[in-house]
Amino acid sequence: MLFKKKAKKDLQNENVDIKDVVKNCGLRHIAFIMDGNGRWAKRRSLPREAGHKVGASTFKKVVKYCSDIGIDTITVYAFSTENWTRPKREVEALMRLLDVYIKTANDEDDENRVKYVFLGDKEALGEELKAKCIQLEQFTAHYNKTLNVALNYGGRAEIVHAVNEALRSGVTEITEDDISKNLYTANSPDPDLIVRTAGEVRLSNFLMWQSAYSEFYFTDVLWPDMSPDEVDKAIIDFSNRKRNFGGVQNA
Ligand code: FPP
């Protein structure tokens, strides 16, 4: 039997420039489900909050890396609508991290020169945090690359919100386009690749509508240990996938 040898890209075997891979494989939008902060801390006998602290610094590095190698849109799942049920101390620690993060992102010298868009219902964040999120969105609106931060976000709630917005605008029969243009991600393309860390293989109410044709990459690496090399692995894997979007190739 004849096997056609597939020319797979492999960073170890070939001298591949990841920027070329990104450009050639059509990866415009990468999304991360940043999982495993708690386990990372537990393995070191540290409180869960310590895992989130390192996770926040990893988040910053990964965003910078993705933007440097030419990815236009990055989305991260920072806090879901379900995360409010975590212990008060953990929720407060996450909100504090976010507050510090927003402060540094507001700095003109901040290395992450991206347009911030917060996905989710800002009302539950409290007046102060809500105002800071809006201010950061306005302050960074002129940058070309986009960082979507899903905060108090749930995919199903987002679809319900989009339908209600469409109805409010007077639409009587809802089309897919009515929903897409009323999602929090209305100005971003759908994610090409969704990466989830920490060995969990599920979507957890993240980008439910937008992920219809996304590719998925799962790794056992815990989020605080996520590195440029691990991001490269996900991208190389993605670049070797065949995407048909429901059609056929070479029919
Ligand atoms: C999931 O890990 C992670 C979260 C619920 C929060 C993600 C937040 C960060 C990476 C840092 C903060 C982000 C910003 C924007 C400053 P887990 O706690 O569920 O881990 P586990 O499954 O191992 O317990």
Domain tally, the chain: 1
Alpha-carbon span 232 to 36, nearest angstrom: 19
Residues 6+ apart with CB under 8 A from 32: 62, 74, 75, 76, 77, 194, 195, 196, 197, 226
Closest atom of ligand 1 relative to the 223 alpha carbon = 10
pLDDT at 110 over 60: yes
pLDDT at 13 over 60: no
pTM score, two decimals? 0.93
Q: Which residues line ligand 1 (CB under 6 A)?
A: 34-39, 52, 55-56, 59, 78, 83, 94, 97-98, 101, 149, 198, 223
27-72 pLDDT, tens digit per residue, is 999 999 999 999 999 999 999 999 999 999 999 999 999 999 999 9
- Ligand 1: which residue has its CA nearest to atom 7? 78
Please indicate, yes or no, if residue 8 is contained in any of the structural domains: no
Please indicate, yes or no, if residue 159 is contained in any of the structural domains: yes
Alpha-carbon span 106 to 205, nearest angstrom: 29
pLDDT at 207 over 60: yes
Please indicate, yes or no, if residue 147 is contained in any of the structural domains: yes
92-105 pLDDT, tens digit per residue, is 999 999 999 999 98
Q: Point out the residues that are catalytic.
A: 35, 83
Name the average pLDDT for the chain.
Answer: 92
Alpha-carbon span 82 to 84, nearest angstrom: 5
Q: Name the residue range of residue 62's domain.
A: 24-239
- CATH code for the domain in which residue 93 is found: 3.40.1180.10
Please indicate, yes or no, if residue 82 is contained in any of the structural domains: yes
